[in-house]
Chains A and B, each alone.
Chain A
Amino acid sequence: MVAPSRGSPIVSLRGVGKVFGTGTLALDGLDLDVRGGEFVSLLGPSGCGKSTALRIIAGLSEPSRGAVTWMDGAGSGHARDIGFVFQEPTLMPWATVFSNVFLPLKLEGLDKAAATPRVMATLARVGLADFAGAYPRELSGGMRMRVSIARALVTAPRILLMDEPFAALDEITRFKLNDDLVALWRELRMTVVFVTHSVFESVYLSERIVIMTGRPGRVSSELAVEQPNRDAQFRTSAEYAAFCRQASEALAQAMRAGAGAAA
């Protein structure tokens, strides 16, 4: 498969709405393009439907209205091309780290011998090569999340969907994983859609921030973060602070708009 040129959309959401069985309108008229190779964050208050949008892109949830179009013609949720990282590590507690990462390949029908090099290479990539035989409960929260990321990466997906993956981690671990994620994104040249409610995290990680209003969720504004270097220096720079202020203001505006719509 030819990789799409950088910048052209690989998946488009047009007028996507989602009504849950309880009658809650989670999304309404959401328009979003995800471009090949970009790192885009969906930033919004809790309950603004950003996770729902991610699940719709993954094909785990069907939109009630509107359309999701994949530019390569493959259906939504094209198994091999999507990696998904949940808010919790979501590992199988009865299986070793190796078996957890091997799972997507196993479900595809690969046998263990054939998959072992790939699984081990992916584990090495997230710094867990020495823990292949460990069980999830023997690992720290940050390590479990790394396993979860390795499992999402093992199929070499074109698009990685992440649903507030670091929200439950302590700050030191979160910063470390942020750095590792940026490095992985650079190295693997994949597309990342990252859902977060943290302004600081979204500015640090992404090239583009899509700010969403709450109830019902739709796009409020966008912010481009043009900054090639994502490192400790960037995190403490005046530029970073300025981006964070911009994003915070945009978020505050989105929340006011959301509150206005709800009233």
Chain B
Amino acid sequence: MNERTLRIVLPVVVLALGVVLWDLIVRINGIPPYILPGPVLVLTTLCADWSILWTSLLATLETTIEGLALAVIGGIGLAVLFNQSRLIEHSLYPYAVILQVTPVVAIAPLLLIYLPQQAAVLACAWIVAFFPVLANTTLGLNSVDRNLADLFRLYRASRWQVLWELKLPAALPHMLAGLKIAGGLSLIGAVVAEIAAGSAGAGSGLAYRIAESGYRLNIPRMFAALLLLSLAGIVIFALLSLLSHVMLRRWHESAIAREG
């Protein structure tokens, strides 16, 4: 079997073994579903509660994608601004770091007091997602080939030309790497905020469903919602990886398959 097949087959085998083991443990020990439901029950719950869970999934995904979009706009925009002006960079960068290192779980309840619920959830997703985009784009903009920069100077390129023709394309691989991290983090931010909001009142996202099911001891639904969240995370990562591959495949080392 070649490397490629192994990379697909092995994780599937591990998954199958895990599920079988899970099922056996539940059956042999006769564990009741309100403590640990078996895999079959989780799947049937997923089907039975599909309409509720699907609506919740869409709500969470909407927050995640909006948060990510704002993070990309804010992160890249701020990185470009920092790159153009040392003054702005020195004034604002420490606060971007502070925003990043303060745990979002701790900020969420405050945001929920001052902002409408939907805006607060979105703000949480944005806060955690924007920093990797900012940090990676900043790194990319600063790692331009010096000789290429000299070449642009030799041909009297304007500031705008240097940014558009040289710095942004050079930073693209870093930006896309930041985006891949930000996608997952945005989902985490949305979930954290939904959980925090869940105790405060009405919510409709998947994380809210998990919290709500927990209060009602509806453990199978908790598992079903968790499964969906996980799948959503995987799909987001896969899509962003694909985007990165498509944009870099002609020229960047990271996207080129090694032959031989």
What distance in Å separates the Cβ of B134 from its nearest Cβ neighbour in chain A?
Answer: 22
What distance in Å separates the Cβ of A147 from its nearest Cβ neighbour in chain B?
Answer: 13
Of A94, A107, A108, which is within 8 A of B152 by CB? Answer: A107
Of A77, A93, A107, A108, which is within 8 A of B251 by CB? Answer: A93
* Chain-A contact segment, one of B1-9, B37-45, B115-123, B161-169: B161-169
Alpha-carbon distance between A77 and B154 when the two chains are bound, in angstroms: 7
Asked if B49 is at the interface of the complex by the 8 Å CB criterion, the answer is: no
CB <8 Å contact, B152 and A88: no
What distance in Å separates the Cβ of B38 from its nearest Cβ neighbour in chain A?
Answer: 51
CB <8 Å contact, B151 and A84: yes
Measured between beta carbons, the chain B residues less than 8 angstroms from A104 are 155
Asked if B159 is at the interface of the complex by the 8 Å CB criterion, the answer is: no
Alpha-carbon distance between A92 and B155 when the two chains are bound, in angstroms: 15
Of A59, A84, A92, which is within 8 A of B166 by CB? Answer: A92
CB <8 Å contact, A90 and B145: yes
Measured between beta carbons, the chain A residues less than 8 angstroms from B165 are 103, 106-107
Over the window 178-201 of chain A, the binary record of Cβ atoms lying under 8 Å from chain B Cβ atoms (1 yes, 0 no) is 000000000000000000000000
Alpha-carbon distance between A93 and B166 when the two chains are bound, in angstroms: 11
CB <8 Å contact, A82 and B154: yes
Measured between beta carbons, the chain A residues less than 8 angstroms from B252 are 93-94
Q: Nearest CB to that of B156 among chain A residues?
A: A79
- Residues of B contacting A: mostly: helix
Asked if B250 is at the interface of the complex by the 8 Å CB criterion, the answer is: yes
Asked if A70 is at the interface of the complex by the 8 Å CB criterion, the answer is: no
Asked if A214 is at the interface of the complex by the 8 Å CB criterion, the answer is: no
Asked if B172 is at the interface of the complex by the 8 Å CB criterion, the answer is: yes
Known A92-B169, A94-B169, A94-B172: A136·B251 in contact at CB below 8 Å: yes
Asked if B256 is at the interface of the complex by the 8 Å CB criterion, the answer is: yes
Measured between beta carbons, the chain A residues less than 8 angstroms from B161 are 107
Measured between beta carbons, the chain B residues less than 8 angstroms from A77 are 154
Instruction: Known A-B contacts: A60-B154, A86-B151, A137-B251. Give 8 more (CB < 8 A).
Output: A59-B154, A92-B148, A103-B155, A104-B155, A106-B165, A107-B156, A135-B250, A155-B155
Give 9 nearest A-B pairs by CB, closest first.
A90-B147, A107-B155, A79-B156, A94-B169, A86-B147, A93-B251, A107-B157, A94-B251, A135-B251
> Chain A interface (Cβ within 8 Å of chain B)?
55, 58-60, 77, 79, 82, 84, 86, 88, 90, 92-95, 103-104, 106-108, 135-137, 155
23 example contacts (A-B, Cβ-Cβ < 8 A) are as follows A55-B150, A58-B154, A60-B154, A77-B154, A79-B154, A82-B154, A84-B151, A88-B147, A90-B147, A90-B148, A90-B151, A92-B148, A94-B251, A94-B252, A103-B151, A103-B155, A104-B155, A106-B165, A107-B155, A107-B156, A107-B165, A137-B251, A137-B253
